[in-house]
Structure 1
């Protein structure tokens, strides 16, 4: 199983919380799309197999792509890879881009899954985050998208400064009323060098309250479970048959090829990442040079990544798989460290699988770090 990720590094405006690589100038969009296509040609042999099981357009804002630009990208993908007949093809979209015309363009291009960045259905939250859409556009875009897409996910953010439990509950109920099969819900994090970080430091915005975020998480998981959603990864909730194949492949350590500025790739042992500068990326690819760095992951690196990603999922850590992939030393270490978390009620072991408990779910990343192997 292999995946292709394509990074579209353009946005209409900068969200205050975002630290991903993007540009608010789309002047070079057409030129950069040409270079994305060329990078695919240059790197087509990097994946262990040429069969693609998932294709993911991330960003930035991929919904800024035109029908002609999408066609160019899909043409080069089909020329250089074998694509699974029922391949999952996801496109991240912002509500303000989802006009009826654009929705039809995405559908006709071959996109079969939309991930819509709603974040909140309240104007004050959207304004605080400097989102390009408003609450009315969020609702209307989803209703239009449902006419052409069955597989739709929306992003929501909780733990926003000033967000009460009641407002978060209203966000959840609004989302549920739309009859969608998947939600990705994230606690607001304050990243360095973001506008939101500076606003908090200047006292213009209240700091993030971790206890409030935990309360929102508990409300969310309880309500979605009542509605038949499976909490299959810390931030992801899906109805049966609608889990993200792309993200699941990532959590299971499957190889993926990342195309575009700042995009990362992984082949099972090595991680590569492209330069996060659009101009330098274009100049490099024009010369037939790959603007990337590479790191060979040690067995300890791979074990730690396995623990981190798998502990976030409902599938958890398979003890036998740890022994098979990393050896008895790592298995022994895992069992010793995990036993401490089991005593605290944060982990549980059923047969040969270790998972987080309800008590430990919100702390899963911290628990994972306690299980890391430190050289």
Structure 2
């Protein structure tokens, strides 16, 4: 078993490039690993230029980036969870609970800084509950986070009695979280960029990142090689909860409303972005760069369909097709699997 563990560690060292690797080599590796995502992005870029050239209006692109930023922040945290072979279905519920709690605190006169800190702590606690259930209690992440999702949605509705909570606040911090700009760049977009860059550095250059990949490759091998797997998994789910909480603050600050159902679709969109970006649902393979590409691809598709006047119902169908196509083309050994299953008919 020790040799298996050593093999796993060596494998993950190859998956996650060392910091001294050349930039050209790193770029080549990213293009090689995520060529399907890049190809889909290029195809969408060309189609958009032909079918809806108004998409490339600067203001429209800023609006698209702003809309994608909330999903993007959640997807960055989701990437950590999926890389370990887990899943987090509770991000939408955490987003909603954080949003209505933050709106309530601001309405009751709690200082903005304190309210933000409490909101982020709520998100981390929600993630830790998921992590404890998945590790100490041995509950499958899908079931554990499904239960947390149901409970969280109930809490959000209970706190608001099903009614959105609006508030007023003259705060530069809230303005930056929702509608403000720095050097012409919307605050939410900057938060998305910062979270993606920070997550990318952690996964690529820090031991924690290599441990995340190692657990996704083989939990038992990682444990036998000395990785504190329980601690890493708790941290991973805490990161996902923190990301959902930040997205909840961004959503609430944008409209100055805490809505109990604000996160209804964020879970599906974030998972879709991560998968489209090339991260394997089995764990051990993927990157934040791919997730960012997936987020932008989905945002581009949604905006293109809006510009073409496609109904929201057909947009959901198109999103489903894109997810299936992306997963099919990023699945290794697809041809062999089809031949194998065909022979079994």
TM-score interval (norm. to shorter): under 0.3
Question: TM-score, with normalisation over the residues of structure 2?
Answer: 0.28
Determine which structure has greater relative contact order: mean sequence separation of CA pairs < 8 Å that are 6+ residues apart, divided by chain length: 2
Query: Quick check: which one's strand share is greater?
Result: 1
